Amino acid sequence: MFAWMVWTLPVAVFFSCIVLMLIGMTVWELKSPTEPRKGWLPMETTRGDRLFIGLLTAAYVNLVWVGLGEKMVSWFSLEQEPSVWISFVLSMALLALIMRKG
């Protein structure tokens, strides 16, 4: 069923982090219901809203990184494509920023 997908370690870690975040957010919401607030995002959001926006942003950062990998080799005269661990760290940092300040 999932033979088409390349299950490398970074992909497994990325999806594992998403699952752990969803479980953690569910427990957090059950223990302490959220109140909508206004951050720097242009709308009032709850923790769940910010998580959803952050996960979408993280997914797009990773997709753009993978999509531009070959071009980065020629742009920056690299020997091989840059590691996807870089995009993983960038996307998780962006997710944390959106969760905290969004």
Q: How many helices (H) and strands (E) does the chain have?
A: 4, 0
| pLDDT tens sequence across 35-75 | 999 989 899 999 999 999 999 999 899 899 988 888 888 89
Cα separations in angstroms, 97 against 40, 55, 90? 11, 12, 11
What's the alpha-carbon Rg for the chain, to the nearest Å? 16
What pTM, to 2 d.p., does this model score?
A: 0.77
Whether residue 14 is predicted with pLDDT greater than 90 in this model: the reply is no
Residue identified by tokens 């753009």 is 64
Q: Please state the rounded mean pLDDT for residues 81-86.
A: 87
| pLDDT tens sequence across 19-36 | 998 899 999 999 999 899
